[in-house]
Amino acid sequence: MSGELLKAALTAVVGIFVFVLGQGVQRLLLEPIQEQRRVIGEIAFALLMYGNVDHVAQLEAEGRKVADIETPLNVVKKIRELAARLQQTLRVVPAYSILAKLRIVPATDDMILLIRELTTWSNSIYQGDPAPHRDAIARILRVRRHDDPPPLPRDGMIRSVRE
């Protein structure tokens, strides 16, 4: 009887240990990685959503009112916030450099460049040309822009839409 009781107690202790270990991995590793991916997705969204905001800022500077468009100042803040949140993920994910070498997370240099381009994009909305920074962000994220030509078919032959 005591052997069965010992076996049951050992099973319970091992079960609790595995549960606690799993929760630790989830909270300390998986959730921060998922948050970084979420922020990167929001950046990809911002590329399309706020792609014309520099034109709106120019119209506002000329004294023309643009209806139903988010104000450029709010967009500047949102883009800057995305850069800050992305930088935060570099600090929250433990052993980031090791995970980057294993290609579990994006390379640190790419993320630092992305943060720099986001910051420069937000700075250039009122003065400067934000287009090169949006293009750089799209390249870093490997996101096709809406104005990019579609990729060619694998055999290189262009087909009509009706085929």
Question: Mind giving me the DSSP string for 95-112?
Answer: THHHHHHTTSS--HHHHH
pLDDT along the chain (163 residues), means of 10: 84 88 86 95 92 76 67 91 96 93 94 96 89 93 68 50 45
pLDDT score for 150: 55
pLDDT score for 147: 58
pTM for this prediction:
0.75
Q: How far apart are the first and last CA of the chain?
A: 76
In the chain the domains, ranked by start, together with CATH numbers, are 31-141 (1.20.120)
pLDDT score for 26: 85
